[in-house]
């Protein structure tokens, strides 16, 4: 089956539903691996191979903050539900928490022995979950930075993690072809 290319975002056009490219955000010096909107949509966060986390104003396309602290590629970024913090996971095996207003690093969560591929805040903002090349899912206190628990059960790298809306469960997806749901 041949697919026909139609203008779309690549050419700055619009698709059949009327979506149009608003801005192209430039500033990273490497591949961008993760992006997310803040709750309310007033900021965008990006994580890149250039070891940086950046925040952007989606209305103007202007860079707001550059967050420096990781020593390797940033694979995953996410906002807390109140929009006041960002969490990032990196090939440096660390999970970092940042203040979105000041750009200050407010926590470094260490404990993975492999690259961190996915991170997320719990909806209540009290915990962070991370998934890693080390095959582990870790749950952390977002307030103290301490490890709450380690969930072992995957046989290959964990590439995706998320909390349930009620804060009671975590879901993880892995290269082992499995999705696991855990009590949090």
Which pLDDT tens digit goes with each residue over 55-69?
A: 999 999 999 999 999
CB 161 within 8 A of CB 120: yes
Residue 15 has a pLDDT of: 55
Cα–Cα distances in angstroms (integers) from residue 95 to residues 70, 78, 115, 172, in the given order: 9, 11, 10, 17
Q: The whole model's pTM is what?
A: 0.89
Among residues 167, 106, 170, the alpha carbon closest in space to that of 138 is found at: 170
Residue in the block written with tokens 């046989």? 155
Top-confidence residue, 65 or 20: 65
CA dihedral for 128, 91, 160, 102, sign (positive or negative): positive
Q: 158 falls in which pLDDT band (50, 70, 90)? A: very high
How far apart are the C-alpha atoms of 103 and 99, rounded to whole Å?
A: 5
Asked if residue 11 has pLDDT above 90, the reply is no
Asked if residue 141 has pLDDT above 70, the reply is yes
Eight-state DSSP code of residue 38: P
Average pLDDT over residues 138-156: 97
- Please state, rounded to an integer, the average pLDDT across all residues of the chain: 92
């Amino acid at each position: 089956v041949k697919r026909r290319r139609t203008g779309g975002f690549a050419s700055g056009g619009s698709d059949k539903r009327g979506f149009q490219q608003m801005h192209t955000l430039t500033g990273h010096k490497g591949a961008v691996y993760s992006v997310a909107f803040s709750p309310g949509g007033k900021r965008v966060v990006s994580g890149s191979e250039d070891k940086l986390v950046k925040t952007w104003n989606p209305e103007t396309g202007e860079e707001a903050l550059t967050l420096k602290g990781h020593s390797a590629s940033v694979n995953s970024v996410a906002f807390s539900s109140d929009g006041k913090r960002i969490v990032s996971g990196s090939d440096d095996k660390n999970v970092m928490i940042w203040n979105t207003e000041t750009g200050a690093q407010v926590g470094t969560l260490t404990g993975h022995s492999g690259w961190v591929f996915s991170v997320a805040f719990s909806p209540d903002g009290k915990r962070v979950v991370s998934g890693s090349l080390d095959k582990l899912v870790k749950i952390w206190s977002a307030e103290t930075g301490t490890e709450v628990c380690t969930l072992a059960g995957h046989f290959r790298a964990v590439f995706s993690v998320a909390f349930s809306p009620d804060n009671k469960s975590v879901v993880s997806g892995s290269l082992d072809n499995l999705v696991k749901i855990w009590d949090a």
